[in-house]
Chain A
Amino acid sequence: MSTAAQRFLQDAAVKSADLMHREIIRRGMDSYDAAHLKGRARIRDWEAARQKCQEIKREAINHLDRYLLQFEEKVIARGGHVFWAADSEEACAYVKNLATQLGVRTVVKSKSMVTEEIHLSPVLEKAGIKVWETDLGEFIVQLREEPPYHIVTPAMHLNRGQIAKLFREKLDSGITSDDPADLMAVARRKLREAFFAAEMGISGANFLVADAGVIAISTNEGNGRLCTSVPRIHVVVTGIEKVIPRLEDLAVLWPVLATSGTGQGITTYGTLIGGPRRPGEADGPDEFHVVLVDNGRSQLLADAEQREVLHCIRCGACLNICPVFRHVGGHTYGTTYPGPIGSVLTPHLNGIAEFKHLSYASSLCGACTSVCPVKIDLHHHLLQNRRNATAAGATKSSERMMFRAWRSAMLHPWMYALGGWSVRKALRILYRLGLAGSIVDPMRVWNRYRSPVPLPSESFRARWRKDRAAN
Chain B
Amino acid sequence: MPQTEKAPTDNSSRARILERIRAGLRTVIPEPPAMASEPVILKPVFFERIIFEPISNPLERFQQECVSNLMECALTADSAASARQLSEVLQSLPAGEIFVQDDPSLRRLIEMTTEITTELAAPRRAIRWSSQGAPAEASQATVTLAEALIAQTGSILVTASCGGRGASVVAPCHIVYATTGQLVPDLTTALSRVSQERILDRNSFACVISGSSRTADIEKILVQGAHGPRRLVVILESGG
Tell me if B168 and A294 are in contact (CB < 8 A).
no
Q: Tell me, in angstroms, the Cα distance from A158 to B221 when the chains sit together.
A: 12
Give the chain A neighbours of B205 by CB distance below 8 A. 228-229, 271-274, 281, 284
Give the chain B neighbours of A85 by CB distance below 8 A. 13
Let me know if B130 is at the binding interface, CB within 8 A. yes
Give the chain B neighbours of A140 by CB distance below 8 A. 217
| Known contacts A65-B25, A221-B226: A254-B187 contact under CB 8 Å | yes
| Known contacts A266-B155, A283-B134, A377-B33: A137-B209 contact under CB 8 Å | no
Instruction: Say how far A345's CB is from chain B's closest CB, in angstroms.
Output: 16
Tell me if A283 and B155 are in contact (CB < 8 A).
no
Q: Tell me, in angstroms, the Cα distance from A379 to B228 when the chains sit together.
A: 39
Tell me if B207 and A86 are in contact (CB < 8 A).
no
Q: Tell me, in angstroms, the Cα distance from A97 to B79 when the chains sit together.
A: 53
Give the chain B neighbours of A354 by CB distance below 8 A. none
Tell me if B20 and A298 are in contact (CB < 8 A).
yes
Tell me if B166 and A64 are in contact (CB < 8 A).
no
| Known contacts A184-B223, A294-B20: A196-B191 contact under CB 8 Å | no
Let me know if B106 is at the binding interface, CB within 8 A. no
Give the chain A neighbours of B21 by CB distance below 8 A. 64-65, 68, 240, 298, 301
Q: List 29 A-B contacts (CB under 8 A).
A: A28-B220, A43-B52, A83-B11, A136-B217, A154-B217, A158-B218, A184-B218, A221-B214, A221-B215, A225-B227, A229-B166, A229-B169, A229-B170, A246-B195, A248-B192, A255-B187, A265-B65, A265-B210, A266-B153, A268-B228, A269-B210, A273-B205, A276-B204, A277-B165, A282-B165, A283-B164, A301-B21, A301-B24, A307-B29
**B-contacting 9-mer, from A14-22, A46-54, A424-432:** A46-54
Interface residues of A in 268-298 (CB under 8 A from B): 268-278, 281-284, 287-289, 292, 294, 298
Q: Tell me, in angstroms, the Cα distance from A134 to B166 when the chains sit together.
A: 16
Tell me if A294 and B13 are in contact (CB < 8 A).
yes
Let me know if A252 is at the binding interface, CB within 8 A. yes
Residues of A that sit less than 8 Å from B by CB: 27-28, 31-32, 43-45, 48-49, 51-52, 62-65, 68-69, 72, 76, 78, 81-86, 90, 98, 101-102, 134-137, 140, 153-156, 158-160, 163, 180-181, 183-184, 188, 191-192, 195-196, 211-214, 220-223, 225-226, 228-230, 240, 246-248, 250-252, 254-255, 262, 265-278, 281-284, 287-289, 292, 294, 298-305, 307, 366, 369, 375, 377, 379-380, 383
Tell me if B213 and A180 are in contact (CB < 8 A).
no
Give the chain A neighbours of B209 by CB distance below 8 A. 268-270
Let me know if B105 is at the binding interface, CB within 8 A. no
| Known contacts A214-B200, A298-B24: A282-B217 contact under CB 8 Å | no
Q: Tell me, in angstroms, the Cα distance from A251 to B188 when the chains sit together.
A: 5
Q: Tell me, in angstroms, the Cα distance from A262 to B34 when the chains sit together.
A: 32
Instruction: Say how far A177's CB is from chain B's closest CB, in angstroms.
Output: 12
Say which size band chain B's interface belongs to: 35 or more
A276: nearest residue on chain B (CB-CB)?
Answer: B204
Q: Mark contacts of B169-196 with chain A using CB atoms, 8 A cut-off: 1 yes-contact digit, 0 otherwise.
A: 1100000000000000011100110110
Tell me if B218 and A155 are in contact (CB < 8 A).
yes
Tell me if B41 and A136 are in contact (CB < 8 A).
no
Q: Which of B41, B130, B131, B228 has the largest count of A CB atoms less than 10 A from its CB?
A: B228
Let me know if B28 is at the binding interface, CB within 8 A. yes
Tell me if A196 and B38 are in contact (CB < 8 A).
no
Tell me if A86 and B13 are in contact (CB < 8 A).
yes
Q: Tell me, in angstroms, the Cα distance from A409 to B33 when the chains sit together.
A: 33
Interface residues of B in 22-43 (CB under 8 A from A): 22-30, 33-38, 41
| Known contacts A274-B204, A298-B24: A48-B49 contact under CB 8 Å | yes
User: Of A31, A82, A98, A375, which contacts B8 at CB under 8 A?
Assistant: A82
